[in-house]
């Protein structure tokens, strides 16, 4: 490999840091992904991954990606599970708890802490073959931190222009307003008990809330007043963000890539489809769950401590009504 100093020299693809010869060194971590990560399929198309958290088939994955799937099925190891049930969801972390009819699965082993030094190897699912998982590798690449909502929280409504009141002209699909049952023609009167009359008063009243949190909105519908608890939605979830220069050079990235209470950042190079699966350390233990590809250089995972708490909370919740 060491050749005379000058002239052009190229490293064979196999020996690049994502090349087959290098990735082969991660066989023991790949074996963990084979049994403890789930592959989400939409029809025949691979559409993300999941973290297996119980032997009876409880799986965590990214909610906003899962909800996009038309005909979700799951593969674990080599077994296909056609029936996928949605048990509970956490909009703040963008995580959904799924259940497949299975037994004897191998849940992930949680790492004791996500506070590992920067430069620690991490391993995640890459695009798989029908029967075998493949790995993508990288390192922990920045400080653990909160990712504030990009563009701030929103109700998910369009207000009528030129109206002297806050009359709703349209309700965005997938937004908190729609979930809460807000309708066209409703007039917003109060946010958390405080009267709002103009758009700027409304946005002022909302600006200190986080996306994912709930706020009480008082409305007038026809002649009645009613108060609804509305989940605030990240603006980036409702509208396609305008791509900046860095986005343009990033290829694809996750639709939702902000508004997370805490993330572990790594440099694994994948597509926006690689989220939802576990992030492993060299011992094959779960350091977290991949939740967003922010851009070509930055990917986020929910740190293991938060993932454990989230898993316990979602497991103890009653199934969501649909």
Partner 1 sequence: MRARLKFLLFTLLAWPGLSAGERLPIDDKQAPETRKDLEAIQSALIAALPKVRAATVGIELEEGFGTGVIVSADGLILTAAHVSGGVKKKITVVLEDGTKLKAQTLGLNSETDAAMIRITEPGTWRFVEIDRNDSARLGDWVFALGHSGGFDKNRGLVTRLGRLVRLANSTFQSDCILIGGDSGGPLFDLQGRLVGINSRVGNEVQENMHVPMSEFVGKWDDLLKGEFIGEGPFTKKPVKGSGFLGLATDARPEGGLKVTKVGKKTPAETAGLKEGDVILKLNDTPLAKREDLQNLLKEMAEGDVITLDLLRGGKNETLTLNLGAR
Q: Does 241 interact with partner 1 (rule: CB under 8 A)? A: no
**Which one among 47, 75, 178, 265 touches partner 1, defined by CB under 8 A?**
265
Task: State the binding string over 268-297 for partner 1 (x if CB under 8 A, else -).
Answer: -x------------x------------xxx
Least spacing, CB of residue 11 vs partner 1, in Å: 4
CB 97, CB 60: distance < 8 Å: yes
Residues touching partner 1, count (CB under 8 A):
47
Number of residues that make up the chain: 322
Collapse the DSSP code of 212 into the 3-class scheme (helix H, G, I; strand E, B; otherwise coil) and give the result.
coil
Contact 160, 167 (CB under 8 A): yes
**Token couple for 250:** 């990033």
To which residue do tokens 């250089």 refer? Answer: 297
Binding residue (CB under 8 A) for partner 1 from 267, 285, 308, 313: 267
Q: How far is the CB of 192 from partner 1 (least distance, A)?
A: 28
Beta strands 286-295 and 72-76, pairing class: unpaired
Pairing of strands 224-231, 194-195: unpaired
Contact pick of 16, 165, 194, 197 for partner 1 (by CB under 8 A): 16
How far apart CA 320 and CA 60 sit, in angstroms, is: 15
The tokens for 138 are 């990288």
Q: Which C-beta is closer to partner 1: that of 125 or that of 299?
A: 299
Shortest reach from residue 3's CB to partner 1, in Å: 7
- Of 11-19, 41-49, 180-188, 235-243, the segment contacting partner 1 by CB under 8 A is 11-19
Is the distance from CB of 253 to CB of 293 less than 8 angstroms? Answer: yes
Judged by CB under 8 A, which of 55, 79, 163, 246 binds partner 1? 246
C-alpha 225 chain-centroid distance: 36
Beta bridge partners of 102: none
Single residue of 69, 142, 159, 187 touching partner 1 by CB under 8 A: 142
Interface residues toward partner 1, by CB under 8 A:
1-3, 5-11, 14-19, 21-22, 24-26, 28, 117-121, 138-139, 141-143, 145-146, 245-246, 249-251, 265, 267, 269, 282, 295-298
């Amino acid at each position: 490999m060491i050749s005379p100093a000058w002239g052009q020299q190229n490293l064979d693809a196999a020996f690049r840091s994502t090349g087959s010869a290098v990735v082969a060194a991660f066989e023991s971590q790949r074996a963990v992904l084979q049994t403890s990560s789930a592959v989400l399929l939409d029809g025949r198309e691979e559409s993300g991954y999941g973290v297996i958290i119980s032997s009876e088939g409880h799986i965590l994955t990214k909610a906003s990606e899962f909800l996009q799937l038309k005909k979700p099925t799951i593969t674990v190891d080599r077994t296909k599970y056609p029936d996928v049930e949605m048990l509970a969801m956490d909009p703040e972390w963008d995580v959904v708890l799924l259940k497949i009819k299975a037994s004897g699965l191998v849940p992930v082993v949680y790492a004791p802490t996500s506070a590992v030094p920067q430069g620690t190897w991490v391993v995640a699912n890459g695009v798989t073959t029908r029967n075998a998982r493949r790995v993508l590798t990288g390192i922990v690449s920045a400080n653990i931190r909160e990712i504030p909502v990009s563009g701030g929280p929103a109700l998910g409504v369009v207000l009528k222009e030129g109206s002297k009141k806050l009359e709703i002209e349209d309700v965005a699909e997938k937004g908190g307003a729609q979930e809460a049952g807000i309708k066209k023609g409703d007039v917003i009167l109060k946010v958390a008990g405080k009267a709002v009359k103009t758009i700027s008063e409304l946005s002022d009243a909302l600006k200190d809330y986080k996306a994912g949190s709930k706020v009480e909105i008082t409305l007038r519908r026809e002649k009645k007043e009613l108060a609804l608890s509305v989940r605030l939605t990240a603006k980036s979830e409702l509208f396609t963000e305008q791509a900046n220069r860095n986005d343009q050079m990033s290829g694809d990235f996750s639709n939702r890539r902000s508004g997370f209470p805490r993330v572990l950042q790594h440099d694994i190079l994948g597509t926006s489809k690689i989220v939802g699966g576990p992030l492993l350390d060299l011992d094959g233990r779960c350091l977290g769950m991949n939740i967003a590809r922010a851009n070509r250089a930055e990917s986020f995972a929910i740190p293991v401590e938060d993932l454990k708490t989230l898993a316990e909370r979602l497991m103890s919740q009653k199934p969501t009504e649909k």
